[in-house]
């Protein structure tokens, strides 16, 4: 397809620098699961990026909590993670002073005495670093520990704000960020919500989905609601269908035991993909307040019709080739059952039964070891009611519909495809692209999504976090599919080779309706 570089979109103004009022109160971030992959690769680099941007409070500290005795090596290990995972120079002048604010506390999550010792350490840190009793407990652990940690924090009086050690008599704040997956199905999500709500009030709880921290995801709302032209056509009258693809070329990266209990539906569809879907389809909220945004998201999730098993496809990758290199199949991965029934790919067709979307099909696919890494939302519009012109090959069938494609990652940007006259004597048309590219317009960002969310939690802003109603609404959609799949084991797994676009049955999902997945 020919691609124009004109007209080109450049920012009308230089991007604004961070607003000073976004600096949080003095506080300590306590990370449970601090020797884990997430902390080293994502959380510490994100905190450091905030420090570099002068967005952290001056009085600040981090306490890492995990089982192994790492007191002597933890800070140095985190420094290594910041350099490797955060694209930071080792000589960066802010790095060593930041690392000096990191401490480690070894304990077993199910040992009550460890929480007493942690509480004492936090009181010491308040004195040493001036963190005023404000605490953000980040649960970066396997989900089976969430309720234990929450309950122990409650039993040790660590979950409720009290008059802090600062001399102004102000109450401190205590908040918790809880990683995904939040529950395993609808019942377990409800039970976890009940447990957490016994210990923390809802406004203290920040259920994280790092997709909501991505600039491109937040920009879906800006694209729709800050521009006068798109929202008018954002409905069933103009839109033919919507596709959401969350494709990864990586496999399970050594996370066999976790992935065996999860699968693609639980790992990414119930959370990341459902969040994307809600941003594309929700009604405009009355404000950008947490309660207003969350209410609209929940409304649209609840308007999704029960998804029929016939409208679902599951897949599992076998051996194949990715980026020119041979890779093993899922069943050969470390600590994966050799006859595993876990899906590494899921595709769904769903409909939203409301005034705006009735009759518009939404096609969703997500999977591992696919042909490339790309997360993209495609809005395909209906063709004009009367086709006056022919396509390049001289036939009207060759006229391509308009699409808006939102590239969440990589190569972040938005493209509008429209028809243009092919130069010459005829009146033939050819599709061309109007393109917005983030990196060209705003420069390449090193943010990984966690920066924004960590800062929001420190500021007490829950807009970009999941509410209990939202978590339960998405599990209510996914749980019946999980049950239907569990009752009907698959006979043809593995059914796609690593490095391809997934099982052929996923193509059929669209083909029976005369459509095709967009080639990405």
Ligand X SMILES: NC(=O)C1=CN([C@@H]2O[C@H](COP(=O)(O)OP(=O)(O)OC[C@H]3O[C@@H](n4cnc5c(N)ncnc54)[C@H](OP(=O)(O)O)[C@@H]3O)[C@@H](O)[C@H]2O)C=CC1
Ligand Y SMILES: O=C1O[C@H](COP(=O)(O)O)[C@@H](O)[C@H](O)[C@H]1O
Q: Does 141 bind ligand X (CB under 6 A)?
A: yes
Taking the complex as a whole, the smallest distance from the CB of residue 70 to ligand Y amounts, in Å, to 24
- Would you say 507 is a known binding-site residue? no
109 scored as a contact of ligand X (CB under 6 A): yes
Rounded to the nearest whole angstrom, what is the least distance from the CB of residue 374 to ligand Y in the complex? 10
Binding segment (CB under 6 A) for ligand X, from list 105-113, 334-342, 407-415, 478-486: 105-113
Q: Which of 73, 108, 321, 441 binds ligand X (CB under 6 A)?
A: 108
Beta-carbon contacts of residue 93 (< 8 Å; ≥ 6 apart): none
Is 66 a residue that touches ligand X (CB under 6 A)?
Answer: yes
Q: Taking the complex as a whole, how short is the minimal distance between the CB of residue 135 and ligand Y, in angstroms?
A: 25
Partner whose footprint covers residue 495, from ligand Y, ligand X, none (CB < 5 to 8 Å by kind): none
Query: In angstroms, what CA-CA distances link 18 with 50, 148, 343?
Result: 10, 37, 42
Residue 413 phi/psi, 5-degree rounding, is 170, -175
Is 154 assigned to a binding site?
A: no
In the complex, what is the shortest distance from the CB of residue 139 to ligand Y, in angstroms, rounded to a whole number?
14
Residue 243 annotated in ligand binding: no
List the single partner that 124 binds among ligand X, ligand Y, none, CB under 5 to 8 Å by kind: none
Name the segment binding ligand X (CB under 6 A); options: 61-69, 236-244, 397-405, 414-422: 61-69
Closest CA to 490 of 328, 333, 316: 316
By CB under 6 A, name the binding residues for ligand Y: 248, 267-268
Is position 337 annotated as part of the catalytic site?
Answer: no
**Residue 170, contacted partner among ligand Y, ligand X, none, CB below 5-8 A by kind:** none
| Tokens matching residue 468 | 């209990």
Between residues 409 and 463, which has the closer beta carbon with respect to ligand Y?
409
Which one among 126, 179, 376, 456 touches ligand X, defined by CB under 6 A? Answer: 179
CA distances (Å), 394 to each of 2, 69, 210, 398, 428, in order?
A: 17, 72, 47, 8, 7
Burial code of 296-327, b = ≥16 C-beta within 10 A, e = fewer? bbbebbebbeebeeebbbbbbbbbbebeeeeb
201 is in an annotated binding site: no
Nearest 5°: the CA angle 149, 151, 157 is 105
Interface with ligand X, residue 269, by CB under 6 A: no
Does residue number 38 form part of the binding site for ligand X (CB under 6 A)? Answer: yes
Residues 60, 26: contact at Cβ < 8 Å? yes
Strand 60-66 relative to strand 102-106, pairing: parallel
Cβ 416 to ligand Y shortest distance, Å:
24
Residue closest to ligand Y (Cβ) = 267
Which residue, 43 or 414, is less far from ligand X as judged by CB? 43
Q: Which stretch binds ligand X (CB under 6 A): 31-39, 80-88, 169-177, 184-192?
A: 31-39
Contacts 24+ apart (CB under 8 A), 91-94: 92/52, 94/48, 94/51, 94/52
Among 5, 11, 54, 68, binds ligand X (CB under 6 A): 68
Please report, as residue ranges, which positions from 188 to 247 form the binding site for ligand X (by CB under 6 A). Answer: none
Cα–Cα distance measured from residue 30 to residue 38, given in angstroms and rounded to the nearest whole number: 14
40 is an annotated ligand-binding site residue: yes
Binding-residue total with ligand X (CB under 6 A) = 18
34-55 burial, b at 16+ Cβ within 10 Å, e below that, comes to: bbbebbbbbbbbbbbbbbbeeb
Token duo for residue 378: 């495609």
Q: Give me the least distance between CB of 91 and ligand X, in Å please.
A: 28
Is there a binding annotation on residue 297? Answer: no
What Rg, from alpha-carbon coordinates, does the chain have? 24
In the complex, what is the shortest distance from the CB of residue 457 to ligand X, in angstroms, rounded to a whole number?
Answer: 15
Q: Residue 210 annotated as binding?
A: yes
Residue with tokens 């009752």: 487
39 is in an annotated binding site: yes
- Closer to ligand X by CB, 85 or 419: give it: 85
Asked if residues 175 and 135 have their Cβ atoms less than 8 Å apart, the reply is yes
- Residue nearest to ligand X according to CB distances in the complex: 36
* Residue with smaller CB distance to ligand Y, 241 or 365: 365
Q: Which is nearer to ligand Y, 124 or 253 (CB)?
A: 253
CA distance 250 to 367: 9
For ligand X, the binding residues in 271-300 under the rule CB under 6 A are: none
- Partner in contact with 59, chosen from ligand X, ligand Y, none, beta carbon below 5 to 8 Å by kind: none
- Cβ-in-10-Å burial (0-12, 13-18, 19+) of 162 comes to exposed
Of 49, 105, 241, 272, the active-site residue reads: 272
- Do the bridges between strand 135-139 and strand 374-381 make them parallel or antiparallel, or are there none, so unpaired? unpaired
Minimum Å gap between C-beta 197 and ligand Y is 24
Other Cβ atoms less than 10 A from the Cβ of 372: the count is: 13
Paired sense of beta strands 403-409 and 205-207, if any: unpaired
The residue ranges that bind ligand X (CB under 6 A) are 33-38, 66-68, 108-110, 140-143, 179-180
Which residues belong to the annotated binding site?
33-40, 67, 180, 210, 214, 248, 267, 368
Which residues are catalytic, by number? 272
Binding-site residues from annotation for substrate: 210, 214, 248, 267, 368
């Amino acid at each position: 397809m020919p691609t124009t570089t004109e007209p080109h979109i450049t920012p009308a103004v230089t991007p604004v620098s961070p607003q000073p009022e976004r600096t949080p109160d003095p506080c300590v971030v306590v990370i449970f699961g601090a020797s884990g992959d997430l902390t080293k690769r994502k959380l510490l680099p994100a905190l450091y990026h905030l420090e570099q941007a002068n967005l952290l409070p001056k009085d600040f500290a981090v306490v890492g909590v995990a089982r192994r005795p790492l007191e002597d090596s933890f800070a140095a290990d985190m420094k290594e993670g910041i350099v490797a995972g955060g694209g930071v120079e080792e000589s960066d002048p802010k790095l060593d002073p930041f690392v000096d604010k990191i401490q480690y506390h070894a304990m077993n999550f199910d040992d009550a005495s460890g929480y007493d010792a942690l509480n004492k350490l936090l009181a010491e840190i308040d004195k040493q670093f001036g963190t005023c009793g404000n605490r953000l407990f980040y649960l970066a652990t396997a989900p089976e520990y969430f309720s234990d940690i929450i309950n122990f924090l409650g039993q040790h009086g660590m979950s409720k704000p009290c008059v802090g050690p600062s001399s102004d008599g102000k109450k401190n704040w205590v908040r918790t960020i809880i990683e995904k997956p939040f529950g395993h199905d609808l019942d377990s999500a409800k039970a976890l919500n009940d447990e957490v709500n016994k210990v923390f009030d809802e406004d203290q709880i920040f259920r994280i989905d790092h997709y909501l921290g991505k600039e491109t995801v937040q920009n879906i709302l800006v694209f729709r609601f800050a521009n006068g032209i798109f929202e008018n056509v954002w409905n069933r009258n103009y839109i033919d269908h919507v596709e959401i693809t969350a494709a990864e070329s990586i496999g399970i990266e050594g996370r066999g035991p976790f992935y065996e209990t999860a699968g693609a539906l639980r790992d990414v569809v119930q959370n990341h993909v459902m969040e994307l879907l809600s941003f594309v389809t929700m009604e405009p909220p009355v404000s950008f307040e947490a309660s207003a945004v969350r209410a609209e998201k929940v409304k649209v999730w609840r308007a999704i019709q029960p998804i029929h098993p016939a409208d679902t496809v599951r897949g599992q990758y076998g051996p194949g080739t990715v980026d020119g290199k041979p890779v093993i199949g899922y069943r050969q991965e470390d600590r994966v059952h050799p006859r595993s029934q876990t899906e590494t790919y899921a595709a769904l067709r769903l409909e939203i039964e409301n005034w705006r979307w009735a009759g518009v099909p939404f096609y969703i696919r997500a999977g591992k070891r696919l042909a490339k890494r790309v997360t993209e939302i495609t809005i395909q519009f209906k063709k004009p009611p009367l086709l006056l012109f022919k396509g390049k090959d001289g036939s009207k069938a060759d006229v391509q519909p308009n699409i808006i494609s939102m590239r969440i990652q990589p190569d972040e940007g938005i493209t509008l495809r429209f028809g243009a006259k092919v130069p010459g004597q005829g009146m033939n048309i050819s599709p061309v692209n109007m393109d917005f590219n983030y990196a060209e317009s705003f420069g390449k960002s090193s943010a990984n999504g966690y920066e924004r969310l960590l800062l929001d939690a420190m500021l007490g802003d829950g807009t970009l976090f999941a509410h209990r109603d939202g978590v339960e609404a998405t599990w209510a959609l996914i749980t019946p599919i999980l049950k239907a799949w569990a009752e009907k084991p698959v006979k043809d797994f593995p059914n796609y080779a690593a490095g391809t676009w997934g099982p052929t049955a996923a193509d059929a999902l669209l083909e029976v309706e005369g459509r095709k997945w967009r080639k990405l």
